[in-house]
Structure 1
Amino acid sequence: MDQVMFIVWRESVEALLVVGILYAWLKASPAGKPGIKYLWGGVAAGLALSGLLALGILGISSWLSDDGQEYFQAGMALVAAALVVQMVYWMKKHGRTLKRELESGLSDAVSHANWWGLLILVMVAVAREGSETVVFLYGSVAGADAAQWPRLILAGALGLLAAFATFWLLQLGGRIMTWRRFFALTEVLLLLLAGALLVSGLEKLVDLGTLPSLLDPVWDSSALLDDSQSVGKLLADFAGYRSHPALMVLLIWLAYWVGTVTLLRRNQARR
């Protein structure tokens, strides 16, 4: 539930940022006001594409055998982890110029009255955030039973409400939190979440016998911090903590952090 709320919150804020930048530019420009309806059309189209992706993923999963579903869920968790790292890397590389790039593309569309080009620009931007949300959520909630779905839906709704509230606070001009601080904080949380998704995918592969466990468990820290309740459960959901880790999963998790930190530091050095 915590993962769902965080994913919906973070991705919705980013989508609101993109739409907010474009809407403010169009509203402030007399030549751009006719494009506002195309802006909302692009938002609707982007959400529709994300919905189709969700239906496609659920359809594929329903056609698979029990083992096939386990492999599919493991694969989606690993893909989601990779997408999170790619998204953080992309935001660190383009975050400073995002507004300028969006406004440049919008200015070109307005100057040529290319409203369909504006619609496509918005559709792609919203669909990108929506598709990431779909993949992340599937990686987090795959395997949930019917009794858990009401709580998961509630978590998603709360995440969406929190996103609107966060966007409003950030629009106040940095009195409480600036955009830079927001992205810096959530990037760390996203990388922790990617580690948790990685661990869940790897554990499925170990359980299926595709990956050797090497040594299982390496230790038992359940007496100190149980990963099924309280703080331990929170760390398990958001950072991949396990009180009974398999050695193979632990080694890959450590390699993930070494590789990710190295990649982001090199990117920072180049900038």
Structure 2
Amino acid sequence: MEQVLFIVWRESVEAILVVGIAYAWLKQSQARQGMRYLGLGVLAGLLVACLMGAALMSAGSWLQGPAQDIFQTIMVLVAAGLIVQMVMWMRIHARSLKSELEQGLASQVESANYWGIAVLVAIAVAREGSETVVFLYGMGMAQLQSGAIGGFVLAALVGFALALATFGLLQLGSRFLSWRWFFRVSEIMLLCLAASLLVSGVERMIGLEWLPAGPDPLWDTSMWLDDSHGIGGLLATFAGYRAWPPLTVVVAFVAYWILVLSTMRWQRQRLTHRQTTSTEEASA
């Protein structure tokens, strides 16, 4: 349930951030008529996310036996991929997110296209909500199937409450919590969570006989750090640690971090090059 709480917290903060930026800009610009469309956009975005959740649940219930196992395996891997994609996207757009959103709002207000505001906000909220739905489905289907729906819902509600509290602290300024710190720490946690989902997906593929396990287990560290409880259990949940991993899981885990770190390095180099080019052009 810790995974559910964390994902709802992180994604809700992003959604609240978008709505908060739009609300503050409309209020400052005295575009009061846009407030109504802001609310409509939020409701529409939430509706899209709920419909997607219902569709996933229906598909999971409709499929039976091996087909259901295959579907859930695919969703776990999709969730891992989406988390990585989201982190990489935010690394590029986090600094310009506010200005880009405000420019879009200004364009709609200038043309008196208030429905455009609703669409703009709906897309942003639906994106965050849909990502959350996919993540939760990938992580929580086992809990839902075991009847632990109450704990699942409670974790989601606590995560949303924490998101509201976090946004409040972030709005108070860097004395309490800075946006840069929030994005950096949550970025690391999200990448570790994606690794955990990847490990789970690879284990499922081994169970489906899509992949060979290789030497299994490759090692046994349960004597020092068991992955079923305590710190080991927490690392298993959030980072993909396994005390008895097969070779294929280890290879997938190492390959994942090599790819992620290489991509982050490439992004950093490209951003540095772009900033250097912009400085040189400005000087010229």
Other-structure match for 1:28 = 28
1:181-260 correspondence runs (5 A): 181-260=181-260
Counterparts of 2:246 and 2:71, CA distance in 1: 21
Other-structure match for 2:83 = 84
Other-structure match for 1:174 = 174
Q: Which amino acid aligns with 1:10?
A: R
1:147 is paired with a residue of what secondary structure?
coil
2:76 is paired with a residue of what secondary structure?
helix
Counterparts of 1:50 and 1:37, CA distance in 2: 20
Counterparts of 1:152 and 1:214, CA distance in 2: 34
Counterparts of 1:152 and 1:229, CA distance in 2: 19
Q: Which amino acid aligns with 2:239?
A: A
1:142 is paired with a residue of what secondary structure?
helix
1:164 is paired with a residue of what secondary structure?
helix
Counterparts of 1:152 and 1:57, CA distance in 2: 16
Q: Which amino acid aligns with 2:252?
A: I
Q: Which amino acid aligns with 2:250?
A: L
Other-structure match for 1:95 = 94
Q: Deviations over 1:79-127 (max 9, x none)?
A: 0111011001100111111000000000000011101111000000000
Q: TM-score, normalised by structure 1?
A: 0.98
- CA-based RMSD of the aligned residues comes to 0.8
Unmatched tracts of structure 2, length 5 or more: 272-284
Point out the more displaced range, 144-153 or 32-41.
144-153
Counterparts of 1:154 and 1:169, CA distance in 2: 23
Q: State the Cα distance separating 1:214 from its structure 2 match.
A: 1.1
Q: Which amino acid aligns with 1:268?
A: R
Counterparts of 2:242 and 2:26, CA distance in 1: 49
Counterparts of 1:70 and 1:249, CA distance in 2: 18
Q: State the Cα distance separating 1:174 from its structure 2 match.
A: 1.2
Counterparts of 1:265 and 1:85, CA distance in 2: 14
Point out the more displaced range, 6-15 or 220-229.
220-229
Other-structure match for 2:277 = none
Q: State the Cα distance separating 1:249 from its structure 2 match.
A: 1.2
Q: State the Cα distance separating 1:146 from its structure 2 match.
A: 4.1
Counterparts of 2:137 and 2:232, CA distance in 1: 22
Other-structure match for 2:274 = none
2:218 is paired with a residue of what secondary structure?
coil
1:26 is paired with a residue of what secondary structure?
helix
Using the aligned pairs only, state the percent identity. 51
2:68 is paired with a residue of what secondary structure?
helix
Other-structure match for 1:9 = 9
1:162 has 2:162 as partner: yes
Other-structure match for 2:67 = 68
In the alignment of these two chains, the number of paired residues is 270
1:264 has 2:246 as partner: no
Other-structure match for 2:119 = 120
Q: Which amino acid aligns with 1:100?
A: S
Q: Which amino acid aligns with 2:23?
A: Y
Other-structure match for 1:150 = 150
Counterparts of 1:148 and 1:247, CA distance in 2: 32
Q: Which amino acid aligns with 1:75?
A: I
Counterparts of 1:147 and 1:60, CA distance in 2: 18
Q: Which amino acid aligns with 1:122?
A: V
Q: Which amino acid aligns with 1:137?
A: L
2:95 is paired with a residue of what secondary structure?
helix
Q: State the Cα distance separating 1:152 from its structure 2 match.
A: 1.2
Other-structure match for 1:110 = 109
Q: State the Cα distance separating 1:11 from its structure 2 match.
A: 0.2
Counterparts of 1:232 and 1:75, CA distance in 2: 26
Counterparts of 1:215 and 1:140, CA distance in 2: 27
Counterparts of 1:18 and 1:265, CA distance in 2: 27
Q: Which amino acid aligns with 1:115?
A: Y
Unmatched tracts of structure 1, length 5 or more: none
